[in-house]
C-alpha cells in the first residue's frame, strides 16, 4: 500500500513539474505589412531595368573595368564575404547539434583507498586469480567510447538551425546590398570625374577668352580709350579664373583617389572616356511595379530574412520552457592491469541512461531571453516595413528628379546659348566704346557660371540614372 501511494505521489509530482515548466508567458505578436502601391505614376508595365546586369546597363568600357576591379579588390566587400563564411559556419554548428556527440576516451590512473573502508575491505578480500590479491595501490586503465544526444522533441535545435540558415541567407543579401552600393558609388564618382574634366575645359576656354579681352583693354588703355581701372579689373578676373582652375584640378585628384580607394589600390591615374559626358542621358527608364522591389532589392530581402530568423529565435526561446530529453551512453574496457583489458566480457563496461530536465523555479533568465527574442522579432517587423517604404520612396524621388532635371537641363542649355551670344555682342560693343568694361566682365562671368551649372546639371542627370538603377535593386547580379 505504501509503495503504491509512494509511486502515485512521485507520478503526480512529476506531472506537476512538467506542467509548471510548460507554462509559457503570453506575448504580443505582430505581422509585417507587405502592401505597396500598385504602380509608379500609373505605369503598370512590369519590365524592370533592375533585372539587367550592370555590364549591360553601363556601356562605358572604362567604367566597366573599374567596377570589375573593385568587385575583386574592395576591402569592404571582402569583409562582407568573410561575414558570409562566419554565418555558414554557424549553420554547420547548429546542424551538428542535432546529431549525437560521440567521443573516445583513453585514460590511466592510480588509486589508494583506506583499508578500513567498504571499498578497501572489498578490494582486500577479492582474488582475481588463485592466490593473487588486488594490487595496492590500485592502477586503473580505461579505453572506451561515449555518446550524448539531446532528443529534439520540441524542435528547439531544428528551429535554431533554420534561424542560422536564414541569417546566412541574410548575410548573402547583405553582400549583394554592399555590391549594389559599391557599383553605384563607383559609377557616380566616375561621372563626377567626367564632369570635373568638362568644367576644367570650360574654365580654360574662359581663361583664353578673358586673356583676349585683357589684351584688348591694355591696347585701349595705351590709346587712352579706357582707364587703368579697367585693366586691373580684367587682370583680376583672369587671376580669379586661374585660381578656379587649380581648385578643379584638386577636386579631380581627390575624386580619382576616391575611386582608387574603392578599387583597393594606391593613387594613380584613372582612365576614362571624356567624350562620354557629352552623350545624351536617357530619361525613360523601365521601372516595373513596386511589388517587384521585394524580389529585386537586396536590403528588403535581407530584412525579410532577418524577420524570419527572428521568428524562429522566438520559437527557440519558447522551447527553453519545455523539458529537455537527453540520452547518454558509454562502451569500453576497464581493468587494473593492461593485460586484462582484452579479457571479454570481464573487463567490458557499458552504460545507457536517459534524463529529463525542466526549469521549475527562478525562470527569470529564460523569460528575459524569451521576451527579448519577441522584442527583436517586433523590431524586425518594423525594419522590414521600413525597408519597403524606403525603397518605394527612393524610386519615387528618382523618377521625379529625372523628370525635373530634364526640364532644368533644357532651360540651362538655352541660357548658356544666350550668354554665349551676349559675350560676342559685349566684346564688339566694347571695342567700339559703346559698352562699359563692367558689362563685358559681368557677361563673361555669368556665362562661365551658367556653363558650370549646366555641367553640374548634366552630372546630376547621370547620377539620377545610376540612382534609379540602384533604387530598383539593380547592380548586384
The predicted structure's pLDDT at residue 125: 73
The distance of Cα 416 from the centroid of its chain, to the nearest Å, equals: 43
Residues of the chain with CATH 2.20.200.10: 99-114+134-151+324-357
CA–CA distance, 258 with 255 (Å, rounded to integer): 5
The pLDDT confidence band at residue 18, using thresholds 50, 70 and 90, is low
Percent of the chain with pLDDT over 70: 93
Rounded to an integer, the average pLDDT of 432-448 is 80
Cα–Cα distance measured from residue 42 to residue 278, given in angstroms and rounded to the nearest whole number: 32
- Listed range (173-187, 204-218, 307-321, 369-383) with the worst mean pLDDT: 204-218
For residue 116, is pLDDT > 70? yes
When pLDDT is cut at 50, 70 and 90, the band that residue 1 belongs to is very low
Under the banding of pLDDT at 50, 70 and 90, the label for residue 66 is very high
Q: Which long-range contacts (CB under 8 A, 24 or more apart) does 272-280 make?
A: 272/62, 272/63, 272/190, 272/193, 272/194, 272/197, 273/60, 273/61, 273/62, 273/194, 274/194, 274/197, 274/198, 276/60, 276/194, 277/191, 277/194, 277/195, 277/197, 277/198, 277/455, 277/458, 277/462, 278/198
H or E stretch at 109: strand 101-111
**Strand bridging mode 348-357 / 101-111:** unpaired
For residues 287 and 49, the answer to whether their CB atoms sit within 8 Å is yes
401 CB-contact burial (10 Å; exposed 0-12 / middle 13-18 / buried 19+): middle
The strand pairing partners of 352, in sequence order, are 329
Between CA 82 and CA 441 the distance in angstroms is: 59
Residue 130 has pLDDT above 80, yes or no: no
Residues 35-56: tens digit of each pLDDT: 899 998 878 889 999 999 999 9
Q: Are 323 and 360 in contact (CB under 8 A)?
A: no
Instruction: Please choose, from the candidates 383, 372, 254, the residue with its C-alpha nearest in 3D space to the C-alpha of residue 307.
Output: 383
What is the four-CA torsion angle of 7, 12, 14, 19, rounded to 10 degrees? 170
The residues of the chain that CATH labels 1.20.1600.10 are: 27-98+154-321+364-471
Check residue 473 and give its pLDDT. Answer: 95
pTM of the model: 0.86
Q: CATH number for the 27-98+154-321+364-471 domain, one of 1.10.150.120, 3.40.50.720, 3.10.20.30, 1.20.1600.10? A: 1.20.1600.10
d(CA 250, CA 189): 15
Q: Which helix (H) or strand (E) holds 98?
A: none
Q: How far apart are CA 88 and CA 97, in angstroms?
A: 15
Take residue 419 and report the three cell numbers written for it.
550668354
Concatenated DSSP letters of 118-179? HHHHHHHT-BSSTT-BPPSSEEEEEEEEEEEEEE-TTSHHHHHHHHHHHHHHHHHHHHHHHH
Cis-peptide, bond into residue 137, ω within 30° of zero: yes
Q: Distances from the Cα of 173 to the Cαs of 5, 160, 305, 413, in angstroms? A: 61, 20, 9, 42
Helix-strand-coil split of the chain, %, nearest 5: 65, 10, 25
**57-71, 87-101, 275-289, 383-397: least confident range:** 275-289
Q: Give the pLDDT of residue 2.
A: 44
Instruction: Strand 138-151: give its sheet, edge to edge.
Output: 101-111, 138-151, 324-335, 348-357
14 versus 322: the higher-pLDDT residue is 322
Q: Give the chain's mean pLDDT.
A: 89
Start-to-end CA distance of the chain, whole Å, equals: 76
Distance CA 184, CA 471 (A): 10
Q: What is the DSSP string of 323-389?
A: -EEEEEEEEEEEESSGGGGGSTTTTEEEEEEEEEE---S--HHHHHHHHHHHHHHHHHHHHHHHHHH
Asked if the 99-114+134-151+324-357 domain carries CATH number 2.20.200.10, the reply is yes
Q: What is the pLDDT of residues 234-247, one digit of tens each?
A: 889 899 999 999 99
Angle between helices 298-319 and 156-222 (to 10 degrees): 150
In percent, how much of the chain has pLDDT > 90?
62
Give the C-alpha separation, 279 to 283, whole Å. Answer: 13
Q: Are 63 and 274 in contact (CB under 8 A)?
A: no
Q: 41, 16, 48: which is closest to 471 by C-alpha?
A: 48
Once rounded to an integer, what is the mean pLDDT over residues 361-371? 88
Amino acid at each position: 500500500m505504501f509503495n503504491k501511494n509512494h509511486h502515485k505521489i512521485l507520478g503526480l509530482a512529476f506531472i506537476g513539474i512538467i506542467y509548471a515548466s510548460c507554462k509559457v508567458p503570453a506575448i504580443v505578436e505582430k505581422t509585417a505589412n507587405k502592401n505597396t502601391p500598385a504602380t509608379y505614376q500609373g505605369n503598370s508595365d512590369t519590365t524592370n531595368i533592375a533585372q539587367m546586369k550592370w555590364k549591360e546597363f553601363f556601356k562605358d568600357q572604362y567604367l566597366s573595368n573599374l567596377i570589375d576591379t573593385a568587385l575583386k579588390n574592395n576591402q569592404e566587400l571582402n569583409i562582407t564575404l568573410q561575414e558570409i563564411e562566419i554565418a555558414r559556419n554557424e549553420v554547420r554548428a547548429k546542424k551538428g547539434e542535432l546529431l549525437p556527440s560521440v567521443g573516445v576516451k583513453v585514460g590511466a590512473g592510480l588509486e589508494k583507498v583506506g583499508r578500513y573502508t567498504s571499498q578497501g575491505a572489498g578490494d582486500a578480500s577479492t582474488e582475481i586469480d588463485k592466490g593473487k590479491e588486488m594490487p595496492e595501490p590500485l592502477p586503473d586503465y580505461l579505453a572506451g567510447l561515449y555518446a550524448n544526444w539531446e532528443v529534439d522533441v520540441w524542435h528547439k535545435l531544428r528551429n535554431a538551425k533554420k534561424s542560422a540558415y536564414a541569417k546566412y541567407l541574410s548575410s548573402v543579401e547583405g553582400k549583394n546590398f554592399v555590391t549594389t552600393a559599391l557599383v553605384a558609388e563607383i559609377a557616380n564618382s566616375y561621372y563626377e570625374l567626367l564632369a570635373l574634366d568638362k568644367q576644367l575645359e570650360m574654365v580654360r576656354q574662359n581663361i583664353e577668352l578673358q586673356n583676349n579681352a585683357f589684351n584688348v583693354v591694355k591696347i585701349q588703355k595705351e590709346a587712352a580709350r579706357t582707364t587703368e581701372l579697367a585693366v586691373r579689373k580684367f587682370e583680376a578676373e583672369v587671376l580669379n579664373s586661374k585660381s578656379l582652375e587649380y581648385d578643379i584640378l584638386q577636386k579631380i585628384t581627390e575624386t580619382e583617389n576616391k575611386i582608387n580607394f574603392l578599387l583597393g589600390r594606391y593613387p594613380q591615374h584613372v582612365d576614362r572616356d571624356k567624350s562620354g559626358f557629352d552623350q545624351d542621358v536617357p530619361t525613360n527608364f523601365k521601372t516595373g511595379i513596386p511589388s517587384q522591389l521585394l524580389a529585386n532589392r537586396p536590403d528588403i530581402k535581407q530584412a525579410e530574412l532577418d524577420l524570419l530568423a527572428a521568428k524562429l529565435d522566438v520559437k527557440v526561446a519558447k522551447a527553453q520552457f519545455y523539458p529537455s530529453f537527453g540520452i547518454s551512453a558509454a562502451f569500453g574496457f576497464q581493468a587494473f592491469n593492461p593485460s586484462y583489458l582484452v579479457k571479454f566480457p570481464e573487463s567490458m563496461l557499458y552504460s545507457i541512461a536517459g534524463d529529463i530536465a525542466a526549469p521549475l523555479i527562478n525562470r527569470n533568465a529564460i523569460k528575459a531571453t524569451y521576451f527579448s527574442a519577441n522584442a527583436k522579432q517586433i523590431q524586425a517587423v518594423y525594419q522590414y516595413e521600413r525597408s519597403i517604404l524606403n525603397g518605394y520612396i527612393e524610386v519615387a524621388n528618382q523618377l521625379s528628379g529625372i523628370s525635373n532635371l530634364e526640364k532644368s537641363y533644357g532651360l540651362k542649355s538655352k541660357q548658356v546659348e544666350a550668354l554665349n551670344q551676349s559675350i560676342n555682342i559685349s566684346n564688339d560693343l566694347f571695342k567700339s566704346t559703346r559698352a562699359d568694361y563692367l558689362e563685358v566682365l559681368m557677361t563673361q562671368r555669368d556665362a562661365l557660371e551658367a556653363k558650370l551649372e549646366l555641367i553640374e546639371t548634366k552630372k546630376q542627370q547621370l547620377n539620377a540614372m545610376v540612382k534609379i538603377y540602384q533604387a530598383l535593386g539593380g547592380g548586384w547580379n
